[in-house]
């Protein structure tokens, strides 16, 4: 028996941006072939798809609230009463080898602004909170066990869509009574201020894990059901080998491509 195709959708030549393709459902192609750059929909479907030699059954209907499916590289999300949509991936490349380059700080740009510019998107930050606190053990260990830290929490958005939220922890003996303790630390962000204070940055270390989000993370990042997160912890070291910042970041995994350049010697 021929293997069933994964989905009934509409013929490619009939699908354009914003098209409601209710009338086109009989001329079908796999969704994986549809260009993800356009916002497209097809009708909610309750009947089994026997056309392709398979009965998807009730568990596979597409008009159940909050349901979604993954086809090829593109996420399919249903909206009750409206239909099913192919959501495009944001074209954000996180260039680990370039995003913290000193030339960006000298131009007054933080890493997130650099990535937003490369993507042609508008960056915003909300949910900002700056306060002194006692660090959790895993943060204190990475920073050399300071008793107190300055914590900076914020959420990053591109074109209004939440992308990540992050907390930076800086030892309080470094951050107290400095621009780092202000809501807006100034051009280039806290790394530019650290270098102005004599902590010339030497290198960064990152640890990356992929996992499913907590309910709170799903809410803050407005994630569709089933979308994982990337948990990234970065440590910034100065020329003296001191850890001067730990940044704990939760990223929407469907929003980024992580790009690295590694030495071969």
Q: Is residue 215 located within the same domain as residue 230?
A: yes
Choose among 96, 219, 100, 206: nearest CA to 155.
219
Q: How far is residue 24's CA from residue 39's CA, in Å, rounded to a whole number?
A: 16
Count of structural domains within the chain: 2
Q: Is residue 105 located within the same domain as residue 70?
A: no
Q: Is residue 44 located within the same domain as residue 129?
A: no
What is the pLDDT tens value at each position of the chain, 265 positions in all?
444 333 333 333 444 333 333 333 433 434 444 444 444 454 444 444 444 444 443 333 333 333 344 433 445 555 556 666 555 555 576 666 677 777 877 777 877 888 887 778 888 999 999 999 999 999 999 999 999 999 999 999 988 889 999 999 999 999 999 999 999 999 989 999 999 999 999 999 999 999 999 999 999 999 988 899 999 999 999 999 999 999 999 999 988 888 888 889 8
- Segment 151-197, tens digit of pLDDT: 999 999 988 889 999 999 999 999 999 999 999 999 989 999 999 99
End residue of a domain, out of 52, 72, 87: 87
End residue of a domain, out of 87, 122, 145: 87
What are 71's two structure tokens?
């086809």
- Range of 141's domain? 93-259
End residue of a domain, out of 87, 104, 139: 87
Strand order in the sheet with 83-87: 40-42, 83-87, 74-79, 68-71
- Burial group, residue 57, by CB count within 10 angstroms (0-12, 13-18, 19+): exposed
> CA triplet 80, 227, 67: central angle to 5 degrees?
20
Residue 62 lies in a domain: yes
Q: How far is residue 158's CA from residue 125's CA, in Å, rounded to a whole number?
A: 9
Tell me if residue 135 falls in helix, strand or coil. coil
Which pLDDT does position 97 carry in this prediction? Answer: 66
Residue with tokens 């080898």: 97
Q: Is residue 121 located within the same domain as residue 188?
A: yes
Q: Is residue 133 located within the same domain as residue 30?
A: no
Residue 2 lies in a domain: no
Which pLDDT does position 46 carry in this prediction? Answer: 46
Tally the C-alpha atoms within 13 A of residue 188's C-alpha that lie toward its C-beta. Answer: 16
Residue 194 lies in a domain: yes
For residue 151, the domain's CATH number is 3.40.1410.10
Q: How far is residue 43's CA from residue 46's CA, in Å, rounded to a whole number?
A: 10
Q: Is residue 77 located within the same domain as residue 117?
A: no
Choose among 65, 247, 255, 37: nearest CA to 161.
255
Q: How far is residue 118's CA from residue 257's CA, in Å, rounded to a whole number?
A: 13
Q: Is residue 185 located within the same domain as residue 117?
A: yes
Which pLDDT does position 62 carry in this prediction? Answer: 38
Residue 6 lies in a domain: no
Q: Is residue 99 located within the same domain as residue 83?
A: no
Q: Is residue 77 located within the same domain as residue 97?
A: no
Chain centre to alpha carbon of residue 102: 24
Cβ within 8 Å of residue 200, ≥6 positions away: 238, 239
* CA Rg value for the chain: 23
Tally the C-alpha atoms within 13 A of residue 167's C-alpha that lie toward its C-beta. Answer: 15
Which pLDDT does position 243 carry in this prediction? Answer: 98
What are 25's two structure tokens?
């459902």
Which pLDDT does position 238 carry in this prediction? Answer: 97
Q: Is residue 188 located within the same domain as residue 73?
A: no
What are 155's two structure tokens?
């959420």
- Find residue 124's DSSP bridge partners: 157
Q: Is residue 78 located within the same domain as residue 111?
A: no
- Burial group, residue 87, by CB count within 10 angstroms (0-12, 13-18, 19+): middle
Helix (H) or strand (E) holding 218: helix 215-221
User: Phi-psi bin for 244: left (phi > 0), alpha (psi -120 to 50), beta?
Assistant: alpha
């Amino acid at each position: 028996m021929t293997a069933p195709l994964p989905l009934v959708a509409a013929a490619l030549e009939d699908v354009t941006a914003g098209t409601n393709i209710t009338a086109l459902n009989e001329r079908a192609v796999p969704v994986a072939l549809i260009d993800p750059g356009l916002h497209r929909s097809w009708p909610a479907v309750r009947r089994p798809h026997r056309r392709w030699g398979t009965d998807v059954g009730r568990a596979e209907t597409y008009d159940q609230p909050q349901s979604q499916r993954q086809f090829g590289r593109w996420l399919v999300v249903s909206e009750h009463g409206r239909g099913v949509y192919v959501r495009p991936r944001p074209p954000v490349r996180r260039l680990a080898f370039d995003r913290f380059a000193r030339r960006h700080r000298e131009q007054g740009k933080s890493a997130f602004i650099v990535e937003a510019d490369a993507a042609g998107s508008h960056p915003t930050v909300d949910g900002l909170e700056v306060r002194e606190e006692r660090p959790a053990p895993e943060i204190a260990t990475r920073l050399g066990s300071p008793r107190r830290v300055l914590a900076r929490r914020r959420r990053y958005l591109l074109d209004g869509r939440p992308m990540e939220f992050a907390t930076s922890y800086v030892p309080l003996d470094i951050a107290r009574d400095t621009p780092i303790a202000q809501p807006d630390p100034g051009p280039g962000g806290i790394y530019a201020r650290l270098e102005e204070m004599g902590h010339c940055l030497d290198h960064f270390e990152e640890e990356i894990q992929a996992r499913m989000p907590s309910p709170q993370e799903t809410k803050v990042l407005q994630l569709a059901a089933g979308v994982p997160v990337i948990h990234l912890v970065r440590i910034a070291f100065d020329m003296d080998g001191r850890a001067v910042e730990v940044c704990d970041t939760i990223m929407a995994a469907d929003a980024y491509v992580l790009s690295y350049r590694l030495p071969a010697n």
